[in-house]
Structure 1
Amino acid sequence: MLGIIPTADAQQVAYDEGLDLVEVAPNERPPVCRIMDYGKFKYEQKKRLAKNSKQHHVQLKEIRVRPKTGDHDIDFKVKRARTFLQGRDKVKVNIIFRGRELAHKDRGMEILNSIIENLDDIAKVEKFPSMEGRNQMSAILAPRAS
C-alpha cells in the first residue's frame, strides 16, 4: 500500500522492482493500480481455469480371470477393480473358458458372484453375469453414486 501517488512515480517504483504496474479498478477516482508480475498472474489465472474445467470421461476397464485362477490372484484383481471404480470408471469382469474349462461354467459363475460381492460396497451391477458367446462369461460394474 503506497497510497495515492502520481502515475510516473508508480511506474518508476514498478520498474525498479522489475514488476509491472497493472490497473485494477479503472473506474474508481483515483484509479487503483497494483504492482505485480503480470505474466505470472495471467499464467496462474489460466492454470486455475484449466483445473476447474477438467472433466472425467468414464472408461470401461476390463478384468480377465480364468476358472482355475487362484484366490490370491483374484483378490489382486478385485483390488485393481476397486481402484478403477474409485476413479469413477466402469469395470467389466470377464471369465474366460478354454478347452475343458467349459464344463465348469458353475465355477466361473461362483468366481463372478464372489467378485461382485467383494465390490458391493462401492459398485452396483450394471449388467448381470451372463455368457457372451461360447467361451466368455461377463458382468459390468459401475461405481455407486456417492
Structure 2
Amino acid sequence: KNVEFVKEKRLVQDFLSMLAKNPNHVTYGEKEVRDKLEKGLVKTLLISAGIEKYRVKFKCQGCGAEKELTLVKEEMLAKGGKETCEKCGGLMYEEELRSIVDELAALAEKTNAQVEVISTETDEGKMLLGSFGGIVALLRYAAQE
C-alpha cells in the first residue's frame, strides 16, 4: 500500500511540476480532459477515486433528441431519471448511466492513454480532488489552443 501511495504522490507531483513549467503539456477539469481524450492527446489520465459524478444520457420520447449531462448523485436523484427536451419540450428519459471514472477510463483506453486512479488518502490525492476537480491529464505533446 505504501508503494502505491509513493507512486500516486509522484504522479500528482509530476502533474504539478509540468503545470508550473509547461502548462500547455497538461490539462484539468472534466470538459477539458474529455476534449483532449477524444483528440487522442492524453498520455496519462489521473483521476481521483473520490469523484462521485455520473455521465447520464437522456433520450426524448417525442422527437428522439439526445442529451448528455454530468451530474452528482444528488442531482441525479432530484431529476428522477427525467429531463425536459430543449427541442420539443417533451419528456426525456435516462437511457444510459455511467460513473465518470469508468467513462473517462474507457475513453483513455481507446487511445492507449495510461489511466491512474489516485486515492484521497494522501495530501496529493486530496489536492487533486479539491483543487483540480479530481480529473487531470498529462499530454503526449503540447496542446495548441
- Would the TM-score normalized by the shorter structure come out above 0.5? no
Q: Answer 1 or 2: higher relative contact order, Cα 8 Å, separation at least 6.
A: 2
Q: TM-score, normalised by structure 2?
A: 0.29
